[in-house]
Amino acid sequence: MRDIVVSLFILGMMPVSFRKPFVGLLLFSLLAYLRLQDLTWGFAQDVRWSFYVAIVTFAGFFASPVERNFMAADIRCYLLCVLTAIVWVSVLLTGDFHSTDMPGLIEYTKIIGIALFTTGLVNTRPRLRMMVWVIAFSFAFFGFKSGLVGVLKGGAYQIHNGPGGMLDDNNDFALALGMGVPLLWMVAHSERRQVIRRMLYAVVPLQMATIAFTHSRGGALALGTGLMVLVYRSRNRLAGFVAIGLLGLVGLAVAPSDYTERLSTIKDYEQDDSAQARLAAWRTAFEMIKDKPLQGVGFARFQRNYKKYDPAVQDRELEEHGSHVSHNSYLQIWAECGTPALFVYLSLIALSLMDLWKIRSLAQQRFHSSWVLNYCTMFEASLVIFLAGSMFLNRAHFDLFYHLIAVIVAFGRIARAELADFRLYPARGMGRGELQAVHAPGFGPRPRPNGFERRPALGGGL
């Protein structure tokens, strides 16, 4: 029955996706993050829903008389194109291109294509808000579901795998849920209806508990880093840091012993086999980088070349564990695709953070700009969570990271356009006469507060 419901829903949305490509983009994102197909048990699991939705959406875009821009004219969009080209070249330069390389290359190209498409279609504030809501609610679903189950079981609960796709691994699942926490918090803060707002706030601790139930140490560290950003951007930092400290103490007090013991191994990394394996992988990655600093060993070829750069590892280890990966996103892209790829990758991150800081500075000079400040903090915290988590995970090709960069690009364009309109956001210090002149007939009506402006700015934090 569930398969039929999911199939009818997706099929029913296909014509809408053709007529309105942005709806198709939302549906594609829903399939990527909520994993509707993986919530079924029968035939619907094996259907390539995302592929069909993408085909219909792109066809609708090229046939649309309204939608014009496939991607935004932003340096980060051009860098994404350059990075894709570098990834393809890294494989071609190895000299042993094989048909088995194609699925991974096509998948990566698809990820970048969707990100670029997002920068073109998310061009208004309502569209930005809907995109954020889809991403936040997708992860909130799993946070509520798994968090509630874990709490009802008294914490004696462990998540070994995520729902599927890019969220299949428990560490990836924890990282994605962590990146979703700031989004969910700000969605709750901007919600005008008190009942819904309280319900959303109630899901936040359950989503954080779900991260703990994955037993991912990297996920816990990344979430803690993101929470620090939220508190730092809040108006009352002292109270925020005290609240975070108390929350941490309560969490450790009620957490099951096996989880606290696993967290304690972070400081005893010399005796932890998993930590030692990561250190060994990092050393091997540096050997690859020293040998091929420009072109790398080839996209998705780290494990294939592992034994060559670490002869001590045995074939049986590779077969049994299959986990000889870089365990670090930055070393992964550096070792596999070379120094130019790492430079472009880090540039995407740096430019996005700088853009958020510049928009925050601009927004602080305006009235009624709470939604801009809150969204700056939301995206900043989510990006910092990825930066921290990817120190321990080889997720240089993580879908959500590139999608987040794309949404930040779209947000920057929308926020700047609104902040540049003094009818909407008069400058601080502008006198009453000047304000009246700005909002006099001929300049347009004074905007009514909406869901973003009605609630005061938090400074972007808790």
Q: What percent of the chain has pLDDT over 70?
A: 82
Q: What is the mean pLDDT of residues 387-412?
A: 92
The pLDDT value given to residue 355? 96
Question: How far is 408 from 410, CA to CA, in rounded Å?
Answer: 5
The pLDDT value given to residue 368? 58
pLDDT bin (cut points 50, 70, 90) of residue 438 is: very low
Question: How far is 310 from 159, CA to CA, in rounded Å?
Answer: 32
The pLDDT value given to residue 424? 61
Q: What percent of the chain has pLDDT over 90?
A: 45
The pLDDT value given to residue 191? 80
Mean confidence (pLDDT) of the chain: 83
The pLDDT value given to residue 444? 40
φ, ψ (nearest 5 deg) of residue 202: -70, -25
Residue 455 clears pLDDT 60, i.e. is over it: no
DSSP 8-state class, residue 397: T
Residue 436 clears pLDDT 90, i.e. is over it: no
pLDDT bin (cut points 50, 70, 90) of residue 301 is: confident
Residue 220 clears pLDDT 50, i.e. is over it: yes
303-350 tens-digit pLDDT: 888 888 887 765 545 444 445 677 889 999 999 999 999 999 999 999
Range with the lowest mean pLDDT among 92-96, 100-104, 118-122?
A: 92-96
- The total number of residues shown for the chain amounts to 462
Higher pLDDT, 102 or 462: 102
The runs of H, that is alpha helices, within 364-398 are 370-389
Question: How far is 384 from 401, CA to CA, in rounded Å?
Answer: 11
Range with the lowest mean pLDDT among 260-264, 322-326, 425-429?
A: 425-429
71-99 tens-digit pLDDT: 999 999 999 999 999 999 988 887 777 77
- Could you tell me the pTM of the whole model? 0.86
pLDDT bin (cut points 50, 70, 90) of residue 262 is: low
The pLDDT value given to residue 72? 93
Question: How far is 299 from 307, CA to CA, in rounded Å?
Answer: 17
Distant-in-sequence, close-in-space partners of 221: CB < 8 Å, separation ≥ 6: 266, 388, 389, 392
